[in-house]
């Protein structure tokens, strides 16, 4: 028996062998692990701040909170329980189980709050729709990790208490708790925990949108100093109706997710933005990139609703043709093909290592070496 090979430690982790530390790793959107080394004091402080996000969303001592997410290798999942503890609520951990079993337990234990990533909520929602049943004890759905778009929210309203509220929190294991929603925050809007994070917005474009850069004031082992988050945000500069003066930001999705399209760098987010734009449901939207027999790259939008609606298809085509001078020139030159449409046959909605819905697939084989994604 020989020792497993020990690769060099990632830069920034320090001497992980000694001292009161805990190590987390996040997949990030690329699947390349990012390591974070924290003292327990740092973890507890972050949980304290993040707990305020739950309180602000309305979690209270009367609630039974069903919490999705599985503890695993270097997972920070348990910190959610520590943060929730501040609300004095009852916690119901939900591991991987089939949707029918989850629905049964939530109904049996009268869970009032679901704390869940939208991608994990979808199979339960689909199960409830098929079964024609509703979990009427649930009055709050609290999401994080990815956006729950208004079209999905409208659909899920039918499945819980008629007065159900949808709120979300904003934190990453890499930089810690960032934001929370009060009752007055709309879709994608957050107050910043400005006693923990110094938030800045850099490279602001003409629409006032730039990248969120943050400094965590309570991290020493793995300092977060003016760190780029990859999140596109704008600053909301009108006072919030809730009366709280803490700064507010509006999230506009992730920064560039680039692929090689006809030999040029193309930001896939420009197409992924069509989902909220057209009000498409989560399980009715996949963008695929493939290559025609003549070697031209082509995007295909897979959606039953768009496939059925000529007006929507025309809207998407017009949007694509006017996307950028570069794309227009490529289309004119015939170096790439126009966007095409299809139903959902042959594409499957999958999730990333981090469990987030993957609405984009590159079906070209083999991938070009220069293809990159982040």
The continuous run of DSSP H or E covering 251 comes out as strand 248-254
In the complex, least distance from residue 244 CB atom to Zn ion, rounded to whole angstroms: 5
In the complex, least distance from residue 235 CB atom to Zn ion, rounded to whole angstroms: 14
Alpha-carbon torsion 274, 305, 121, 258, what sign?
Answer: negative
- Tell me if 64 contacts Zn ion by CB under 5 A: no
Question: For the CA atoms of the chain, what is the radius of gyration?
Answer: 22
Distance CA 362, CA 370 (A): 13
Distance CA 227, CA 12 (A): 14
Three-state SS across 46-83?
HHHHHHHHHHHHCCCCCCEEEECCCCCCCCCCHHHHHH
Binding mask 87-126 for Zn ion (x = CB under 5 A): ----------------------------------------
In the complex, least distance from residue 236 CB atom to Zn ion, rounded to whole angstroms: 10
Is the link from the previous residue into 366 a cis peptide, with omega within 30 of 0? yes
Composition of the chain by helix, strand, coil, percent to 5: 25, 30, 45
Binding span for Zn ion by CB under 5 A among 2-10, 47-55, 148-156, 234-242: 234-242
- Tell me if 242 contacts Zn ion by CB under 5 A: yes
- The only residue of 9, 70, 109, 184 in contact with Zn ion, by rule CB under 5 A: 184
Quick one: 242 or 354, whose CB is closer to Zn ion? 242
- Tell me if 240 contacts Zn ion by CB under 5 A: yes
> Looking only at residues 289 through 318 of this chain, which bind Zn ion when binding is defined by CB under 5 A?
none
Residue 101 CB neighbour total at 10 angstroms: 11
Helices (H), 190-336: 269-272, 274-278, 304-308, 310-321, 325-333
Quick one: 44 or 184, whose CB is closer to Zn ion? 184
Binding mask 153-182 for Zn ion (x = CB under 5 A): -----------------------------x
Quick one: 90 or 240, whose CB is closer to Zn ion? 240
In the complex, least distance from residue 230 CB atom to Zn ion, rounded to whole angstroms: 25
In the complex, least distance from residue 191 CB atom to Zn ion, rounded to whole angstroms: 6
Quick one: 101 or 183, whose CB is closer to Zn ion? 183
Distance CA 132, CA 109 (A): 20
181: its two tokens: 């929603």
Quick one: 151 or 182, whose CB is closer to Zn ion? 182
CA atoms within 13 A on the CB side of 136: 3
Long-range contact list for 202-206, CB < 8 A, 24+ apart?
202/228, 204/234
Binding span for Zn ion by CB under 5 A among 22-30, 166-174, 183-191, 338-346: 183-191
Binding span for Zn ion by CB under 5 A among 20-28, 233-241, 273-281, 338-346: 233-241
* Nearest alpha carbon to residue 363 among 296, 297, 268, 288: 288
Binding span for Zn ion by CB under 5 A among 69-77, 106-114, 134-142, 236-244: 236-244
Strand partners, 236: 248
The size of the interface with Zn ion (CB under 5 A), counted in residues, is: 5
In the complex, least distance from residue 109 CB atom to Zn ion, rounded to whole angstroms: 32
Quick one: 105 or 244, whose CB is closer to Zn ion? 244
> Looking only at residues 5 through 34 of this chain, which bind Zn ion when binding is defined by CB under 5 A?
none
In the complex, least distance from residue 52 CB atom to Zn ion, rounded to whole angstroms: 13
63: its two tokens: 């609630």
Quick one: 90 or 236, whose CB is closer to Zn ion? 236
In the complex, least distance from residue 152 CB atom to Zn ion, rounded to whole angstroms: 23
Q: Which residues bind Zn ion (CB under 5 A)?
A: 182, 184, 240, 242, 244
């Amino acid at each position: 028996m020989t020792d497993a090979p020990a690769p060099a430690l990632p830069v920034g982790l320090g001497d992980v062998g000694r001292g009161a530390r805990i190590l987390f790793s996040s997949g990030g959107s690329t699947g390349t692990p990012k390591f974070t080394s924290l003292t327990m004091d740092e973890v507890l402080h972050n949980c304290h701040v993040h707990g305020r996000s739950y309180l602000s969303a309305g979690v209270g001592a009367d609630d039974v909170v069903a919490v999705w997410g599985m503890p695993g290798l270097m997972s920070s999942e348990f910190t959610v329980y520590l943060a929730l503890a501040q609300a004095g609520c009852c916690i119901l951990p939900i591991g991987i189980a089939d949707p029918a079993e989850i629905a049964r337990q939530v109904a049996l234990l009268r869970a009032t709050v679901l704390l869940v990533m939208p991608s994990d909520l979808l199979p339960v929602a689909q199960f409830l729709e098929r079964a024609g049943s509703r979990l009427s004890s649930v009055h709050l759905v609290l999401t994080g990790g990815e956006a729950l778009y208004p079209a999905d929210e409208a659909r899920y309203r039918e499945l819980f208490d008629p007065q159900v509220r949808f709120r979300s929190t904003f934190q990453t294991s890499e930089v810690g708790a960032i934001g929370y929603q009060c009752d007055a925050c709309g879709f994608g809007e957050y107050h910043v925990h400005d006693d923990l994070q110094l938030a800045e917005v850099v490279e602001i474009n003409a629409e006032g949108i730039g990248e969120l850069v943050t400094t965590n004031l309570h991290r020493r082992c793995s300092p977060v100093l003016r760190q780029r988050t990859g999140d596109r945000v704008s600053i909301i500069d009108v006072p919030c109706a809730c009366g709280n003066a803490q700064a507010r930001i509006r999230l506009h999705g992730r920064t560039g997710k680039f692929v090689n399209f006809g030999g040029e760098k193309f930001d896939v987010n420009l197409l992924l933005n069509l989902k909220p734009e057209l009000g498409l449901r989560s399980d009715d939207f996949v963008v695929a990139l493939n290559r025609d027999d003549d070697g031209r790259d082509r995007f295909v939008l897979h959606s039953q609703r768009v496939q059925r609606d000529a007006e929507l298809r025309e809207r998407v085509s017009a949007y694509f043709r006017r996307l950028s001078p570069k794309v227009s020139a490529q289309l004119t030159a015939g170096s790439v093909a126009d966007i095409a449409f299809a139903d959902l046959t042959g594409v499957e909605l999958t999730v990333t290592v981090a469990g987030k819905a993957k609405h984009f697939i590159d079906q070209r084989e083999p991938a070009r070496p220069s293809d990159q994604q982040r």
